[in-house]
Amino acid sequence: MKKYILAITITLFGCLGPKRELPKILIIGDSVSGGYFPFVKKNLIGKAKVFQPTYYDKNGKTKSCCGGTSQAVKEIGIYLSDIKWDIIHFNFGLHDIKHIDPVTGKNSKNLSHPHQASPEEYGRNLIEIIKKLKRTGAKLIFATTTPYPDKLGKQMRSPGMPKIYNQVAIKIMNKSEIKINDLYSLVLPRVNELQRPNNVHFNIKGSEFLAEQVLKSIKGSL
């Protein structure tokens, strides 16, 4: 099992009288969230303590992102640690959409191979994850999965799948009364400008753009 740590932003400041306990915010997501996380963290210095689960890869380097829902069902407790969270902003989807070689279990460029988690499995996994998140007592915000080009440099995902997976997620979030941060709809009209060519990831401008929306969503829940 991967060993997880928490990337922590703590701002110390002096004030008269007792120190005010800053709200604790956890941002869970894939590498797209790893792109906007630093901008969110920087903006909330002095206003909140911002954390993101990270893990050590096989080379001992830290990666500030999580995998798909199948992994999260097993490891969500590690992401949550024993901290009392005020807000949890979370997303899963891009990894679930990946095609997997049924023999090796590795990522596959064969689009006829099964998804890491089918839309049905994705939905069931989200329900299990939500149960565990709700036990924390934190305010929950779900971010929809961002779009990607039909043609990718590493074609491990079929075109148009984020919309399908988001439909599954939105239905579950509405039923669970969880706030939705619709990053998909926000970025879609500007995806060619904000996303790296033939890539699921965003350029600096795109990550800053996403961060602005994440901040709005979080500040609205503080």
Length of the chain: 222
- CATH code, domain with 162: 3.40.50.1110
Does 78 fall in a domain? yes
Global confidence as pTM: 0.88
How many domains does one find in the chain? Answer: 1
Does 17 fall in a domain? no
Classify residue 177 as left (phi > 0), alpha (psi -120 to 50) or beta.
left
Does 222 fall in a domain? no
Indicate if the pLDDT at residue 17 is higher than 60.
Answer: no
Does 55 fall in a domain? yes
Ordered alpha helix ranges (H), the chain: 31-43, 69-80, 94-97, 119-134, 161-175, 183-187, 191-194, 204-219
Indicate if the pLDDT at residue 86 is higher than 90.
Answer: yes
| Residues near 18 by beta carbon (within 8 Å), at least 6 away in sequence | none
d(CA 188, CA 109): 24
pLDDT at 54: 74
Does 16 fall in a domain? no
Does 172 fall in a domain? yes
d(CA 100, CA 117): 9
Give the amino acid at 148: Y
Mean pLDDT of 155-166: 93
pLDDT at 12: 33
Does 15 fall in a domain? no
User: In terms of C-beta density within 10 A (0-12 exposed, 13-18 middle, 19 or more buried), how is residue 200 classed?
Assistant: buried
Does 95 fall in a domain? yes
Say which DSSP state 91 is in.
-
DSSP element (H, E) containing 27:
strand 24-28
Which residue segment(s) compose the domain that 134 sits in?
4-9+22-217
Q: What is the pLDDT of residues 30-77, one digit of tens each?
A: 989 999 999 999 999 999 999 998 766 667 766 656 889 999 999 999
